[in-house]
Amino acid sequence: MSKNNARALDIKNGCIEMSHGSGGRAMAQLIHELFTATFDNSYLAQGNDGALLPQAGGRLVMSTDGHVISPLFFAGGDIGCLSVHGTINDVAMMGAMPLYLAASFILEEGFPLIDLKRIVESMAQASADAGVPIVTGDTKVVEKGKGDGVFITTTAVGIMRHDITLSGNLAQPGDRILVSGTIGDHGMAVLSQREGLNFDAPIVSDTAALHELVAAMLDSGAKLRVLRDPTRGGLATTLNEIAKQSGVGMLLEETAIKVNPPVAAACEFLGLDPLYIANEGKLIAICAAEDTDKLLKVMQAHPRAKDATIIGSICEDPHCFVQMTTKLGGRRIVDWLAGEQLPRIC
């Protein structure tokens, strides 16, 4: 306990050891040489138990998200950028601008430092691209077999810049439902990687930060009621949540819901329904009917929503059913995801 530990962190060959979580010199070294150096901002450099931040000029928004995705690396991203995007998006869906992120790491003994470095660099890049710094953090280590490489919980604080309230309980009959692009990309990218499936065309996760798209949508002045990102449970489950919260029904048009052809093919091959597959870079918007065209134009003009479509409308329904007119012209109920479809997708 009294010996010095002066050697530098061996990123190339080293692994996480229990001592990296014990609060002593090894932990200080890991934090200093990897996390603080890579995330590199003045808040984190304060070096205290938390970050001291400026006063925020608006109502606060706070959201947290644990990330346990398996595998850690997949086509289009990794747990690092995903953990930044996912939590930024939760704040954005409230109609708020994300300002700061906190990151908590639960590392498994034996996890290669080179992989951790890659994840941390991916987080730092996503954070820089989004303009939302990681201002404070925490590192814990669990014994081999008591974790799974790395779990990352990120928490975001944001502020409301508009005098608007978006909430899952505000959808009204007559409102239109829009989706910002193709569905199912993230979930099928992860599943393909996990199962070692190779399809002719590559499937790439859509993981992306959506706060700038949301800012453009809010700036349009369109009467938005609800924004939600259809992650776990996919489009179908998220729409059912909103229908239940608002006490309304929904009518969807299957032909208006876009699915990338490789995703559609993979879903068909595996017997999965893309309506239930997770997305990490798409949003659902529910908007007053009269403003729908204006909103759609703003969305389609933004690089993150160029494939946006109107997929249906809100109706009165005491049962809060989500129904869909199928490609063949029939109508079916689109229920909640029950049971597990794809575990550890985010």
103 binds its own copies (CB under 8 A): yes
Q: Which stretch binds its own copies (CB under 8 A): 1-9, 191-199, 204-212, 321-329?
A: 1-9
61 binds its own copies (CB under 8 A): yes
What residues between 166 and 225 interact with its own copies by CB under 8 A?
A: 166-169
Alpha-carbon distance of 185 to 277, in angstroms, equals 8
Q: Which stretch binds its own copies (CB under 8 A): 20-28, 113-121, 190-198, 257-265?
A: 20-28
142 binds its own copies (CB under 8 A): yes
The single residue among 9, 15, 53, 128 that binds its own copies, judged by CB under 8 A, is: 53
What residues between 65 and 84 interact with its own copies by CB under 8 A?
A: 65-68, 70
Q: Which stretch binds its own copies (CB under 8 A): 103-111, 117-125, 178-186, 189-197?
A: 103-111
The single residue among 47, 303, 318, 329 that binds its own copies, judged by CB under 8 A, is: 47
| Smallest separation (angstroms) from its own copies to the CB of 113 | 17
Kind plus residue range of the DSSP H or E element containing 101: strand 96-108
| Smallest separation (angstroms) from its own copies to the CB of 268 | 15
Radius of gyration, alpha carbons of the chain: 21
155 binds its own copies (CB under 8 A): yes
Residue with smaller CB distance to its own copies, 261 or 343: 343
The single residue among 12, 48, 303, 330 that binds its own copies, judged by CB under 8 A, is: 48
Using the 8-state DSSP alphabet, how is residue 131 labeled?
T
| Smallest separation (angstroms) from its own copies to the CB of 304 | 17
Q: Is 113 helix (H, G, I), strand (E, B) or coil?
A: helix
**Burial of 151 (C-beta count, 10 Å sphere; 0-12/13-18/19+):** buried
What backbone torsions phi and psi does residue 15 show, to the nearest 5 degrees?
A: -130, 160
**Residue recorded with tokens 């708020």:** 96
The single residue among 36, 104, 172, 325 that binds its own copies, judged by CB under 8 A, is: 104
| Smallest separation (angstroms) from its own copies to the CB of 55 | 5
Residue with smaller CB distance to its own copies, 164 or 301: 164
Alpha-carbon distance of 258 to 341, in angstroms, equals 21
Q: Is 127 helix (H, G, I), strand (E, B) or coil?
A: helix
4 binds its own copies (CB under 8 A): yes
**Number of chain positions touching its own copies (CB under 8 A):** 99
What residues between 255 and 314 interact with its own copies by CB under 8 A?
A: 273, 276, 278
Alpha-carbon distance of 5 to 320, in angstroms, equals 62
Structure token digits, residue 235: 């489009």
**Burial of 219 (C-beta count, 10 Å sphere; 0-12/13-18/19+):** exposed
55 binds its own copies (CB under 8 A): yes
Residue with smaller CB distance to its own copies, 60 or 270: 60
Whether the Cβ atoms of residue 309 and residue 257 lie closer than 8 Å to each other: yes
What residues between 235 and 254 interact with its own copies by CB under 8 A?
A: 237, 241, 245
| Smallest separation (angstroms) from its own copies to the CB of 152 | 9
Whether the Cβ atoms of residue 306 and residue 282 lie closer than 8 Å to each other: no
Alpha-carbon distance of 328 to 324, in angstroms, equals 11
- Residues 6+ away with beta carbon under 8 Å from 108: 16, 141, 142, 143, 144, 145, 146, 147, 148, 149, 150
Q: Is 130 helix (H, G, I), strand (E, B) or coil?
A: helix
| Smallest separation (angstroms) from its own copies to the CB of 346 | 8
338 binds its own copies (CB under 8 A): yes
